[in-house]
Amino acid sequence: MADKKKLVMIGNGMAGVRALEHLLKLAPDLYEITIFGAEPYPNYNRIMLSSVLAGGTELKDIVINDWDWYSENRIALHVGHTVSRIDTEARMVYSDQGAEAVYDTLIMATGSRPFMLPLPGADKEGVIGFRDIADCETMFEASRSYKNAVVIGGGLLGLEAARGLLNLGMNVSVVHISPNLMNRQLDEPASKMLQKELEAQGMKFLLRKQSELIYGKKRVKGLRFTDGSEVEADLIVMAVGIKPNVSLAKSAGLAVGRGIVVNDYMETNVPNVYAVGECAEHRGIAYGLVAPLYDQGAVLAKRLAGVDTAGYEGSMTSTKLKVSGVDVFSAGQYEETPGTRALRYQDELEGVYKKIVIENDRLVGAVLFGDTSDGASLFSIMKKGESIKGKEKELLLGFAPGGAAASPASRLESMADDEIVCGCNGVSKGAIKDAIETKGCATVGEIKACNKATGSCGGCKPLVEGLLSLYAGERAGEAVKEGICGCTSLDRDEIVAGLRRLEPATIKEAMLALDWKQPEGCTKCRPSLNYYMGMLWPERYKDEKESRFTNERYHANIQKDGTYSVVPRIYGGVTTPSELKKIAEVAEKYDVPLVKFTGGQRLDLFGVKKEDLPGMWEDLDMPSGHAYGKMLRTVKTCVGNTFCRFGTQDAIGMGIRLEKEFERMNAPAKVKFAVSGCPRNCAEATIKDYGIVAIDGGWELHVGGNGGVHVRATDLLCVVKTEDEVVEWGGAFLQYYRENATWGERTSVWVERVGLDAIKAALDDPAERKALHGRMKTALSYIKDPWKEIIEDKELRKNFEALAVPAPLN
């Protein structure tokens, strides 16, 4: 790690993280990377917030790079941290939460913020922008208590916010200063068609209105206009534009215009400081669309990786989105000016409008409404600047006058392979064709997993669907055989069989041997392969820590604010005064804000900083309770016959024995035990993966329970007489589960899938039962206490300590 350059990025948004994705592919070992993000979330697709608001998408579905991506790439991520100061002389970055980082290279990716009209009353409760997840949550909350919403701004963002608020059941009025909606992308005919469609959906429009003030007491009650008219409002959303976030850059001495001024290689006026995305101003332009920002990121990544590259020369922009269920495309110069001419086609019945603008026999602009299938080809012709003389009407209509209309398939087939279909992610028609014909993709989802087409704004989805139909034929969209993820069509049994046959030594070898579509895999298949290989060959397979989830690598549970919770193991829920005292002293030493008793009879220490984890585990000197892993979590017990007058067996002793026996066990999913000392079942053993209930002269063994979202009562496996039998049957059952369940499958689901009779048949034979238990003990013998690695692994510990103590300058 010492020879790596230190790269710090301020901002955790789409443009900056996309640049890092490129950089990690080009030079994966060149930089030690730290990211500061003001929001308490991993990198997510801001473009899809409107889909979340409209109800078609959940917040988790718009995450581009989850927590594990940062962990796998050894990126130190500070979420919920706003950088407050940059010292460009000392090359230091400081956050409002007290974090510091030294850099050799600094990337400013601070993005933009919504422009809030400086109206009297704009600071009232219920007046917001529409820029991030917090804004969406505010709208969700408002819709539960209030009815009237006003959106200021009739552009693309405002209309998407209005559509979402309609879906939330609010009465929505859109205020726009222009007489035409989306006046920066659409001409008057297209705008009027859009307005008519949206009015039919329930939106109201107040056009040619200039806002004067927002009235109300603590919370907004309405909006008054300069003409004296008013509209009631319980919620006002301002969607009138964005402003690059430049205040931090300005205070650090960077040249600032509208945005942070950069050259063609995204370099600022300060050495080793770069800017990318909506905060950057290139040749006088600050872009707000994702495609140009991704182009900037690609150039920056090559520059930082030392790869020769042409500079960024600016972008011709296009807008192709589905606005409230209506397809809209706009690119280039959409209004006629002296020296240009326009051709139009309008069909009110079908709701289709097309317009192209021509200058010197070259296509310089286009507007499409209702039918945007030709958008990509028109945009490609615009960017190439080729002559269209004699082809004007064909381009407008999609076929030569007097001839038959070209079918959608023939139009797609005539597209050049290098034409960009997904502008957001730079995916060409040829790349999509290759994904379908060479890599076997048969659905839009598979193509997205392969090359990210449709993965951002989604505007290219109709084109991708057309190419699927063209090149996949009968395979297109069919219920293809589902693999464990989009990287492979193999299911669990086929993967395990292939691993047994080929015996690869590493995950990379396994993916190569099993013809993985994505050579690096993903956060679903890598952990599953890691588990399957460890289950098959515990004696020789080396666990790949980089293929484990963040929580499992750090031995703590990440929380929504970026801090962690630590759960030491308390066997059977039984502790001592000295152990409690030690936990309390550690909690005080590390300023733990919350200590909570869990439902599994343990103590959970919340709010722990990542850099404090090694020291905390060392000071606790207790095994981890594995509250984060696909392992044995807890063994809940009642006091049994030790104290209770109803107890028939020693539930505490049995619980502690089971927990110590299986505490290091890796499993397909989390596993929970419970031991009740009598049929009163105070430990709730009948909703656990393995539940033991004491009866007179023996123990009932229950399996397959779940007390979570999908509650399932256990099935009675058998009745045994001795504690040794409880352990043996438990080991055999868990090993059979380990060897046959799909990674991620809880015992409750697995038992229902394979059937209790099949499980009993496998365990009834004493010889087979002993063999299964023997394989479990063998596996456990090769697993060291994994929580100790955070203390003993010097490189891992250095990574944590670097978060708290700035490293010296090289």
Task: Kindly state the helix (H) or strand (E) to which residue 21 belongs, with its residue range.
Answer: helix 14-26
Q: Give Cβ neighbours of residue 60 (< 8 Å, ≥ 6 apart).
A: none
Task: Pull the structure tokens for residue 217.
Answer: 């007491």
Concatenated DSSP letters of 447-481: HHHHH-TTSSS-TTHHHHHHHHHHHHGGGTT--PP
> Annotated binding residue at 487?
no
Concatenated DSSP letters of 270-308: STTEEE-STTEEETTB---SHHHHHHHHHHHHHHHHT--
* 760: Cα separation from own chain's centroid: 41
> Could you tell me if 530 and 582 are in contact, meaning their C-beta atoms sit under 8 angstroms apart?
no
Task: Pull the structure tokens for residue 377.
Answer: 């080809």
Task: Pull the structure tokens for residue 224.
Answer: 């008054």
Q: Give Cβ neighbours of residue 460 (< 8 Å, ≥ 6 apart).
A: 320, 376, 421, 422, 423, 424, 427, 453, 454
Helix, coil or strand: residue 207 = strand
CA-to-CA dists, residue 582 to 347, 622, 724, 786, angstroms: 77, 10, 33, 21
Task: Pull the structure tokens for residue 632.
Answer: 């044995």
**Cα–Cα distance for residue pair 293/198, rounded to 1 Å:** 30
DSSP summary character for residue 712: B
Concatenated DSSP letters of 512-562: HHTT-SSTT--TTHHHHHHHHHHHH-TTT----GGGS-HHHHHTSEE-TTS
Helix, coil or strand: residue 398 = coil
> Could you tell me if 375 and 320 are in contact, meaning their C-beta atoms sit under 8 angstroms apart?
yes
* 435: Cα separation from own chain's centroid: 23
> Could you tell me if 130 and 49 are in contact, meaning their C-beta atoms sit under 8 angstroms apart?
yes
β-bridge mates for residue 369, sequence order? 328, 353
Pairing of strands 242-244, 235-238: unpaired
The candidate with the shortest Cα–Cα distance to 152, out of 193, 122, 125, is 122
Task: Kindly state the helix (H) or strand (E) to which residue 179 belongs, with its residue range.
Answer: none
CB-based burial, 273-309: b 16+ in 10 Å, e otherwise? bbbbbbbbbbeeebbbbbbbbbbbbbbbbbbbbeeee
The candidate with the shortest Cα–Cα distance to 238, out of 366, 117, 354, 68, is 117
* Residue 218: count of CB within 10 angstroms of its CB: 8
3-state DSSP helix/strand/coil % of the chain, to nearest 5: 35, 25, 40
Instruction: Give burial (CB, 10 Å; 0-12/13-18/19+) of 259.
Output: buried
Q: Provide the residue type at 432 as one letter.
A: I
CA-to-CA dists, residue 233 to 123, 126, 198, 236, angstroms: 14, 9, 20, 6
CA-to-CA dists, residue 547 to 72, 166, 676, angstroms: 7, 43, 37
> Annotated binding residue at 678?
yes
DSSP summary character for residue 185: T
Helix, coil or strand: residue 794 = helix
Edge-to-edge strand list for the sheet holding 211-216: 211-216, 220-225, 230-232
φ and ψ at residue 743, rounded to 5 degrees: -55, 130
Task: Pull the structure tokens for residue 314.
Answer: 């600016």
> Could you tell me if 13 and 113 are in contact, meaning their C-beta atoms sit under 8 angstroms apart?
no
> Annotated binding residue at 638?
yes
* 657: Cα separation from own chain's centroid: 40
> Annotated binding residue at 424?
no
Known binding-site residue numbers: 638, 644, 678, 682
Known binding-site residue numbers for [4Fe-4S] cluster: 638, 644, 678, 682
Known binding-site residue numbers for siroheme: 682
